[in-house]
């Protein structure tokens, strides 16, 4: 997923509670879905950040390298400015970009 292209709020905003009942009919189920998706996004972002930072690692660190590594600082600042995983998950949910299913509801439909 390309987190750079997502246009959502970078700060928390007040939302209408009834928007979160839309897909599930249950606010607690919605919170569980958002939690799982936010964890997935956070994991993806962390892996991507670690890959980019590994490019700059060296075997022998000197004091000058530690204090003057501007590229790592710029990468870290970029990731700090991105929307938080929870806000991205909420954006995806409200725009119907998350696929989810409830196995217990699927089992009830079979009877």
Span 82-105, pLDDT tens digits: 889 999 999 999 989 888 887 777
Residue 10 pLDDT exceeds 70: yes
What is the model's pLDDT at position 3?
Answer: 66
User: In angstroms, what is the C-alpha Rg of the chain?
Assistant: 19
Name the nearest CA neighbour of 15 among 38, 4, 33, 31: 31
Residue 67 pLDDT exceeds 60: no
User: What residue spans of the chain are helical by DSSP H?
Assistant: 27-54, 63-68, 70-81, 85-94, 103-110
Q: Which residue has the higher pLDDT, 81 or 7?
A: 81
Look at residue 53 and give its three-state secondary structure.
Answer: helix
Contact 33, 98 (CB under 8 A): yes
Residue 68 pLDDT exceeds 80: no
Q: Which residue in the block uniquely carries the two structure tokens 């530690």?
A: 66
């Amino acid at each position: 997923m390309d987190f750079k292209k997502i246009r959502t709020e970078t700060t928390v905003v007040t939302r209408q509670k009834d928007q979160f009942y839309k897909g599930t009919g249950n606010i607690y189920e919605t919170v569980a879905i958002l939690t799982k998706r936010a964890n997935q996004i956070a994991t993806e972002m962390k892996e991507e950040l670690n890959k980019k930072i590994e490019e700059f690692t060296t075997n022998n660190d000197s004091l000058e390298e530690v204090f003057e590594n501007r590229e790592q600082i710029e990468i870290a600042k970029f990731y700090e400015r991105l929307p938080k995983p929870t806000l991205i998950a909420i954006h995806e949910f409200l725009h119907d970009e998350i696929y989810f299913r409830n196995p217990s509801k699927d089992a009830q439909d079979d009877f």
